[in-house]
Amino acid sequence: MSLVFKPEETFRGDYTYRNSDAAILRFPFPFPEDRYMYSVNIEPHVRSGPTDVFHRPFDIDEHYVAECRDRALTLEQDPGRCQALPHMMTAQWDTLELLMENMAADYPEQFSLTKEGDVFGSRWTWINRPLGIEQSFIFGDPDTLPCEPFEYITRQAQGDFAICDQREDNLYLDAGMVTSQADWSLAFNVGMNFMEWHGPVPLAHQAGVFERALKYLLMLRLGQPVRRLNWTMSINPRLDTSPESYPEWGPDRASVTVENAGGKVHLRVELQTLWRLPRSNAILFPIRCFLISVEELARVPKWGKRLHRVLSSLPPELVEYKGLTRYLPATLAWLAPLDDGAELATGIGPDITELAPL
Amino acid sequence: MMQSQITSRPRYRELVAEDTAGAHLLIVEGDTLTPRQMAALAAAFAPVAERMQTWLVSAPATALAPGRVRKLQTVEEAAATLEHMDEGFGIADRLYLQGTEPFMWMLAAAATRAGLSPTQIRMQHAGSLKRRVWCTHCHQTTENVTTNIATCAGCGRELLVRDHFSRRLGAFMGVMVDAEAPGEVPQREEVFP
Amino acid sequence: MIGETLELTVVGVDDIAPSLRHVRLAAADGGQLPPASAGANIQLRLQGEARTWRNAYSLISQPGRRDVYEIIVRRVPESRGGSAFVHEVLKPGDRLVASWPSNLFAPQRTARHHLMIAGGIGITPFLSYVADFAHNGASHALHVCCRESETATFAPWLQDCGDLNYYWDADGHRLDIPALLAQQPAGTHLYVCGPAALNDQVIQAAADAGWPASHVHCEHFGAALSGGTPFTAFLSRSGIEVEVGESESLLEAIERIGASAPCLCRGGACGVCVTGVLEGEPEHRDHYLGADEREGGQLIMPCVSRARSARLVLDL
């Protein structure tokens, strides 16, 4: 897929964000089956997968420039959306290195990284053409960048990022850049351990999901990142659905009708990956958010039908936890006419290569 | 106590002196002291009484306690004293706290700044179930909350008090209760007496 | 940065003491190696004439270096062969396959002070620790118990060590562990790596002195003996029977017949190789399983543990 950015689209105010046909077809649809329940759905993050969203360690798409701008707007209003506890500096450099190396390798027309050495103290030069940035700095010396290294690089990346320090057989959420989250507060959660920050998630604790996931992640290996998909829904293509700004976007949930649900209700999918960081031994947790309106999604017939089935059979605790209560009935009513009840193939791929014209 | 399935809430246990430890410091919130509780503490700490100090915070003048006793007026004074002790803490020392949640977590935060690890701190809840509530919208805290819904002392919004707890802030999360339907505020109930 | 194994070339071998060999390894294709953290190790596949060893060695190179990995290997008299192979056979130009670095003994980033106790070759993870602490300006002290003749051997890696102390087995030169542990400030983390006896002594002394267990860290490097009485293992899923010899581990025997067995540390610490036991009585030698799990007898860690019974049936 060639990269043509849509720098003018917005994720607030007039909400002009839209997906191109190509972006719809590569969407990481999260439901392989007609029912959804929590599981430790973790798999190796290899360079392959059902759509090409999975093919690169850090995917960049047509929304890159607009998402970076939206992040800058959110940070301007609330600088606390990016935090790193003092012991995380080595992990900050790890993150910068990982992102710069992968972006430069996978998108050489957009990014380049030149190094005079690999160890701390070496001079590096980074060029980000889409954002018009050229920066020369000393790897390992935060004073040679305009801000701390984690903030610097994640301002130039899509998706949220958390870094977990590993100690006492647990993972601690000790750094984060969080401006496109599904309603959780970094300022509240920073410093929490794995069980604490997952505390509010219903049903999964009882199923032992987090114990198993934690044990697995503590053994995560350098060079063998893993991934999983998570999902929720949002009204309007809004990246910043934080608890901080809930008073702004909360009322939108009451604005959904059967008529407007297709355009207003968005499926929000997080492609979460987990990386052992090399120098700090911390774990990087990128949470890449993909938004698609129900209307756009339903242009893939399999996905429209399956979404209807998943949402109709969702346990009430999850409906409540994911905040769907007010607008789920209207959304189901919008989707119902599209679902003929035909059997659908297992798996998340679109099973078509072209969309029918609008 | 209101129970939800949220698992970030701390669980508190009866205080037990760890006899291999170095110095023992017990800090008790004065208004939670009853003769029965004091007797229980004295029994629990008898084996280490020689290496022990007890700080009583806002306690009646006549209150008794195990070990060397020091009296402090307010939790703020206790926190400042804890944070700036000349001799500092050793890796083998233990801090024991008894009182309400806001009291204990304010002191735990001060002790952490003084270098103490969470694994050196023991807590036993006593007294009121009142909560400190952190507003997710304006990031101010509201003290002494005993109801399921509280008015934020910072931004004035009506907050639903959730069970999600931050040890670093020593506070529960408060989220605007009528954000989706302005004005629809449920009945306030006294749930943390 | 995705991958599982590395092709390495030996670019230098150097005997730094009668039984210590310093080995330098570079990427066989001349490219960059993955960076590694302080305390990390790599597992080398050492291909002998008759058999293959997979031994894990701590990286002593400066953390994050990508041009070379350095290790130090002590020749163990009772060696099962891996260390003898490194000392007798390995030479510059040889190719080796290695795992990517992994780390089961990383420094605690929240520590206010790092207190390290090394016994003999157990000093190796601390050589990279010291480089890391010096770079980050972290307060640290290293206490080394070694042969008197080896006190200068590691000096090239310890030039930036803030507080370095040597001890050896002679009156007036032994480490007084309880005295060292008695007066440490809050926020100190203690790390020990050495022979099992030293590790046990330090861990016990720390517990006796009231240290919270969360502040005491130990690397059990190759301390677990993997040899013993031969026995038979039956892999129930693949239907294969294998004889486990007296000088190989159960895991090595499983690998020898080509069965796939996930593993990581090969030292009984990480828990990756844990396997179900369907019949027979395990002899546990790992550091991972809890008391309940040991008593239950349903699980075994084949990298170090063996059998009390003549035959084990594994869910593998």
- Residue C235, beta-bridge partner list: C240, C314
Comparing CB atoms, the residue among C186, C208, C210 nearest residue B117 is: C186
* Number of separate domains in chain B: 2
B56, two tokens: 């009583």
> Does the residue B2 lie in any domain?
no
Comparing CB atoms, the residue among A195, A197, A250 nearest residue B179 is: A250
Report yes or no on whether pTM surpasses 0.75: yes
C-alpha distance from residue A67 to each of A62, A129, A231, A238 (Å): 10, 15, 19, 10
pLDDT at res. C226: 55
Q: Does A102 touch chain C (CB under 8 A)?
A: yes
pLDDT at res. C158: 96
pLDDT at res. A205: 67
Give the length of chain A.
Answer: 358
> Does the residue B13 lie in any domain?
no
Q: In what order do the strands lie in the sheet with C5-17?
A: C52-58, C41-47, C95-99, C5-17, C20-27, C69-74
The helix/strand/coil state of C252 is helix
Q: How confident is the model at residue B1 (pLDDT cuts 50, 70, 90)?
A: very low
Q: Which letter does DSSP use for residue B174 in this model?
A: E
| Chain C nearest-CA residue for B89 | C186
pLDDT higher for C251 or A210?
Answer: C251
pLDDT at res. C271: 78
Stretch (H or E) spanning B51:
none
pLDDT at res. A116: 96
Question: Is B137–A246 a contact, with Cβ atoms under 8 angstroms apart?
Answer: yes
Q: How confident is the model at residue C224 (pLDDT cuts 50, 70, 90)?
A: very low
Low-confidence ranges of chain A (pLDDT < 50): 1
> Does the residue B193 lie in any domain?
no
Q: Please tell me whether residues B97 and B139 are part of one structural domain.
A: no
pLDDT at res. C79: 63
pLDDT at res. C27: 97
> CB within 8 A of A208, min separation 6: which ones?
none
Residue-wise DSSP of A65-82: HHHHHHHHHHHHH-GGGE
pLDDT higher for A286 or C54?
Answer: A286
Chain C residues bordering chain A (beta-carbon distance below 8 Å): 1-4, 32, 34-37, 39-40, 62-67, 100-103, 106, 108-110, 132, 135-136, 214, 264, 270-272
By percentage, how much of chain C surpasses pLDDT 90? 68
Q: Does B73 touch chain A (CB under 8 A)?
A: no
Q: C142 near C157, Cβ under 8 Å?
A: no
| Chain B nearest-CA residue for A186 | B136
Question: Is B5–A206 a contact, with Cβ atoms under 8 angstroms apart?
Answer: yes
A203, two tokens: 């049903």
Which of B125, B149, B184 is at the close of a domain?
A: B125
Residue C302: which of C257, C255, C239 has the closest Cα? C255
Could you identify the residue written with the tokens 């910043």? Answer: A240
pLDDT at res. C50: 78
Which phi and psi (to 5°) does residue A273 adopt?
-120, 160
A89, two tokens: 């500096």
Q: Which residues of A touch B156 (CB under 8 A)?
A: none
> Does the residue B33 lie in any domain?
yes
Q: How confident is the model at residue C53 (pLDDT cuts 50, 70, 90)?
A: confident
Task: Count CB neighbours of A224 within 10 A.
Answer: 18
pLDDT at C257 over 50: yes
Q: How confident is the model at residue C222 (pLDDT cuts 50, 70, 90)?
A: low
Question: Is A223–C37 a contact, with Cβ atoms under 8 angstroms apart?
Answer: no
Q: Does A118 touch chain C (CB under 8 A)?
A: yes
* First vs last C-alpha separation in chain B: 9
Question: Closest Cα of chain B to A304: distance in Å?
Answer: 27
pLDDT at res. A206: 67
Q: Please tell me whether residues B71 and B164 are part of one structural domain.
A: no
pLDDT at res. A210: 81
Stretch (H or E) spanning A33:
none
Could you identify the residue written with the tokens 């509010």? Answer: A200
Q: Which letter does DSSP use for residue A183 in this model?
A: S
Longest dimension (CA), chain A: 63
pLDDT at C309 over 70: yes
Question: Is B91–C207 a contact, with Cβ atoms under 8 angstroms apart?
Answer: no
Q: Please tell me whether residues B118 and B137 are part of one structural domain.
A: no
Q: C124 near C153, Cβ under 8 Å?
A: no
Question: Is B162–A200 a contact, with Cβ atoms under 8 angstroms apart?
Answer: yes
Mean predicted lDDT score pLDDT of chain B: 91
**Inter-chain Cβ pairs, chain A and chain B, closer than 8 A:** 73
Q: B15 near B41, Cβ under 8 Å?
A: yes
Residue A304: which of A321, A292, A319 has the closest Cα? A292
Any idea which residues of A carry the catalytic annotation?
228
> Per mean pLDDT, which range of A102-106, A147-151, B188-192, C53-57 is the poorest?
C53-57
Question: Is A188–B167 a contact, with Cβ atoms under 8 angstroms apart?
Answer: no
Q: In what order do the strands lie in the sheet with C231-235?
A: C240-244, C231-235, C311-314, C275-279, C299-300
Q: What CA–CA distance (Å, rounded) separates C235 from C253?
A: 11
> Does the residue B51 lie in any domain?
yes
Could you identify the residue written with the tokens 């599209």? Answer: A338
Comparing CB atoms, the residue among A98, A167, A221 nearest residue C108 is: A167
pLDDT at C63 over 50: yes
Q: What CA–CA distance (Å, rounded) separates C27 from A106?
A: 22
The helix/strand/coil state of B67 is coil
pLDDT at res. B31: 81
Q: Please tell me whether residues B138 and B117 are part of one structural domain.
A: no
Amino acid at C63: P
pLDDT single digits (tens) B159-168: 999 999 999 9
Domains of chain C: 5-99 (2.40.30.10), 113-219 (3.40.50.80), 231-314 (3.10.20.30)
Q: What CA–CA distance (Å, rounded) separates C229 from C280?
A: 15
The helix/strand/coil state of A297 is helix
Neighbours of chain B (3+ CB pairs under 8 A): A, C
CATH number, domain with residue B102? 3.40.50
Which phi and psi (to 5°) does residue B106 adopt?
-65, -40
Structural domain of B147: 131-176
Q: Does A86 touch chain C (CB under 8 A)?
A: no
Question: Closest Cα of chain C to B159: distance in Å?
Answer: 34
Q: How confident is the model at residue B130 (pLDDT cuts 50, 70, 90)?
A: very high
| Chain A nearest-CA residue for C271 | A219
Residue-wise DSSP of C43-80: EEEEE-SS-EEEEEEE--SPTT--S-EEEEEEPPTT--
pLDDT at C223 over 50: no
pLDDT at res. B2: 40
The helix/strand/coil state of A24 is helix
Which of B108, B125, B142 is at the close of a domain?
A: B125
